[in-house]
Amino acid sequence: TRYWRDWSSDVRSSEQIARLHVDHDHETDLVRGLLCLPCNRAIGLLRDDPEVARRAAEYLTMPVQERRIRLVG
């Protein structure tokens, strides 16, 4: 469901979003909140798993020098 209001996404609250999508738990069908489409898709791609989301956030905040980079080839 789309809402055409000038509201903020529950994830990107600092940005004004014109279209919000109802986010729901796929196991219970309960509504969790309103998200912009990119945030809603990102959560889906992270398999609705808070641990995967935490690891992704840690990766994004980790200094490049501390990352373990493996080159294949």
Question: How far is Cα 23 from Cα 4, in angstroms, rounded to an integer?
Answer: 15
Residue 52 pLDDT level (bands cut at 50, 70, 90):
very high
What is the percentage of the chain residues whose pLDDT exceeds 90? 34
What's the half-sphere exposure (Cβ side, CA atoms, 13 Å) at 66? Answer: 6
To 5 degrees, how large is the angle CA 13–CA 45–CA 19? 40
2 versus 13: the higher-pLDDT residue is 13
Residue 4 pLDDT level (bands cut at 50, 70, 90):
very low
Beta bridge partners of 4: 19
10 versus 23: the higher-pLDDT residue is 23
Question: How many other CB atoms are found less than 10 A from the CB of residue 41?
Answer: 12
